[in-house]
Structure 1
Amino acid sequence: MITAGLATSASFAALSFSPIPTVRDLGATLAIGVGVSLVAGVVLTRFLPTASADEVAAPPVPAPRRQTSRRVRLTVGAGVALVALAGWLLLPQLPLRADLQGFADGLPVINDAKHVEDVLGTGGEFTIALSGGGVATPEAMRWMTAAQEAIVAQEGDKLRPIVSPPSMMAFLGGEPTAEQVDAALRLLPPYLTGSVINADRSLAVLTFGTRLSDAEQLRELRDDVLAALPPPPPGMHVDLTGLPMLAVSAYEDVSSDRYLANILGIAAAGTVLAVGLRRRTDALIAVSSAGLATGLGLLVLWGTGAGLSPVTVALGSLTAAVGCEFAVLLAEAQRRANRDLAKAVLVAAAASATGYAVLVVSKLTVVVQFGLLLSLSVLLAFASAGFVVWLTRTSSSVLPLNREPSEIELVGVR
């Protein structure tokens, strides 16, 4: 159990590699929480009374049941594996919910924010930054004027000009000289000029207002803006910044690393189990069941059209975290023909799924979806663990429970 707990913590810790700060914090918090619970459980067991070997009545070994032929198990296993593989292959096609307001859905404050956005017509700042030597020159001013006119002409329904050097110094006319630009910057208050040109005149910004829509739409807007902008003056370059562009960057990072985000948690759990367990085959069973459950879960999401969020895009890591211990304990129960242990694993899975399902009472939609997905992951992990254990069952693997206590091997202890 200690090894399984460490594997769970490692899977949650794999979320710390997410490019989304919220997901990184969630992974670290869950990993620490599992670790603290594990330590608390170990400490508490030291103070609980334990029954002696003479007091423990060994349950009768059940009569041998007819084993399913290996050919049948391999056939069924191959079929289920192909279905799970289809889910893995569909991972890049699953829709990724990337609207910036999705994390706050369900809170009253989101309605206030939408009202403000409707009144102002914008919800975030889209900034075009021109950097290089001497942005307060006639050449740079002409470029910024042309860039602003091009953006307004082609993307005026999505971007609204807020402030820029050409608009702030419009009184200079269309062709200002270097002396006029320098005089205007000295004439205007620094708190105004500082919003468009920095102190050493190496950076100038054109700020537009835009709605904080879906990240995919913002990505299309970014590409359209880059295509519309004229080439910058020699020695200068252009960058697009602002909250919308940060959202696009995070979206692209999450979307491009889907397989890595899912495999990393499974690999972390498998590594911990392989190091900590006496039987390396149990680690392989756990990894196989996690991969199987993840593939089936992805297929369910594709079939229902539910899609993924930045939190649940790492379904593999979450599945390995909530279900790696199921495979280890079910494999041990099968070896010892211990139905009580198998029932205990079932109860633990039901309790875990119920605990995650309680998150549906949250006012945050993303938390509700996270809880439901974790509950589904627990159920799929338990079912997959049982299935993989059934596939790997051998007639010689059953150990009698009434042998001497000194012969009994502890789960997870080398």
Structure 2
Amino acid sequence: MSAERRDVVVVGGGVVGCAAARWLAPDHDVLLLESDQIAGDASGKASGLVTNGASFRAHPKFARTAADFFPKFDGTGSFTFTERESVGLVAEGSGDWARDEAERMRASDFSVEFADVPTLEDRYPDVFDLDAYEGALIYHDTGWLDPYTYTVTLADGAADRGADVRTGVRVTDLLVDDGAVVGVESTDGTVHADTVVAAAGWRTRELCLPHLELPVRPFRWQAATLDPGRDIPDWYPMGWDPTVNRYWRPEHNGSIHIGGGEAAVTNPGSRRTTVPEDFKLQLATEMPDRLRHLKKAMFVCGDTCLTGDASTPDTYPIIDAPSEGPENLVVATGLHIGGIMSSPAIAEAVRSLVTGEELTFSLDPFCLDRFDTRSADFPFVRHMAETEITEARIEARKSRNEAD
């Protein structure tokens, strides 16, 4: 069988691979290869929160690019985007920092305000118990989506624009000649390409070895759906509490979705389909003290990414065409935070790395050379939107990581 030739091969049918294929397909001959099914692992199991301003607060232009996409994409195929306010709880002693943060975010074109406890209780009656809090940051450029539908809609969009999307095809190796990637070997045969985009989650590290080493390791997060046993209002806010590393959002059927509590995966490739009992116990003891609608809630179901998501040492993604690797190789991995919510900006970045087009944001914070090590043996850091973490907590977290 003769080898195929394409302009670009995208490896990975998760949200970033599908977004990259969609962005490149209008003027490139794109082949997307997925070993299982589209959105079959971490992407399809995600929580679907879109909180770019909070999650990428240090990179507001990147965050703004991603956030602006979802309202425009709403109504494409079966995809819907639900706009909803998000409430980031602020612990006692952090109010001054939160007020400064709201002002800084507004200067970056995000609609954010700080509200003290009386204001919150008036604005969201019968929602919170806030005895241990000073207030919250309220974000208005936020919402949620169904991640599986979103990813499949991106894949359909890539196909509609001319991309060849193939599932059940595993890429086994990169083809490298004279210091440059020239294609891939797969279970479907050899494909020659001018560019290869490696977007296979934590497996991207394995794919790129021995030509390029990436500091990426798998981790898992847990999520649960709870039935509050009573109606929740249609304005019920999304939110998160960094003191317990938990986030929540309402469902359209009246349930409440709660997630958080990441943990490193010690056996890469192992599959998990249920949440552990200790996670259920944590939710039962922590969340009713914060959300009144969960005082008598019943556990409906739990979920987790099947084989793991991808983490980096600083929790931010690697989006780069690394100079230390072979030419014509673009990597997009390590989406520890916000792979779903940041996918439009990552897709624009991947396109820029392929075409040389200019971006409205800098890629420097996401380049591989920001790391001193390329080892996958690094301390795992849990990430909760740093907008609600005081500088003292950030320094304390750094100290703990160094101690580990």
Q: TM-score, normalised by structure 2?
A: 0.24
Bigger helix fraction: 1
Decide which structure has greater strand share. Answer: 2
Q: Which has the larger radius of gyration?
A: 1
